[in-house]
Amino acid sequence: MTFGDIIIRQAREADLQALIAMFAADPLGGHGDTTDPEAYPEYARAFAAIAASPDQMLYVAERDGDVVGTFQTIVTTSLNARGSSAMIIEAVQTRADMRGQGIGAQMIEFAIAEAKSRGVRLVQLTSNAVRKDAHRFYERLGFKPSHLGFKMALK
């Protein structure tokens, strides 16, 4: 899908280096992302697992052939809410030098349109508690801070 000069498309394995660099450059993420070549096989395994899943999609936003943003969607179905499905938007990232240009909003709008086309009842996402600018961004797009999330690191 094209938004002006931004193309949103499914990620390809050839995009991995650009995606890894984007995550590694994020000072707030704290996920241990790195451009160290020794870590590449871990990213490649994750990419393959996402690509193999019918319920997950990894997307990139591209401008003039350069990857400038990314996000992932996961559709999950549960018994509550009468067995309906929800879409989780995960790993939303816009390249630092491209922020403030509407790319993030275009990616989220794309994800919402995909959810609607799949008949999903709810779109949800989480955001690191320290990302206050991101929280304001998501609220401007219509998201409500409705739940409190909990995590437990296992590694």
Give this prediction's pTM: 0.91
Q: Token pair for residue 18? A: 């650009």
Q: Token pair for residue 57? A: 């999609």
| DSSP 8-state symbol, 146 | -
How far is Cα 81 from Cα 74, in angstroms, rounded to an integer? 18
122-125 and 85-94 as β-strands: parallel, antiparallel, unpaired? parallel
pLDDT tens track, the chain, 155 positions: 766 889 999 999 999 999 999 999 987 766 788 999 999 999 999 999 999 999 999 999 999 999 999 999 999 999 988 889 999 999 999 999 999 999 999 999 999 999 999 999 999 998 888 888 889 999 999 999 998 888 898 97
Indicate left, alpha or beta for 105 from its phi (over 0: left) and psi (-120 to 50: alpha): alpha
Give the neighbor-by-neighbor strand order of the sheet with 85-94. Answer: 2-3, 6-10, 56-63, 66-77, 85-94, 122-125
How far is Cα 95 from Cα 6, in angstroms, rounded to an integer? 13
pLDDT score, position 29: 67
Set out the domains of the chain in order of their start, with CATH numbers.
Answer: 2-140 (3.40.630.30)
85-94 and 56-63 as β-strands: parallel, antiparallel, unpaired? unpaired
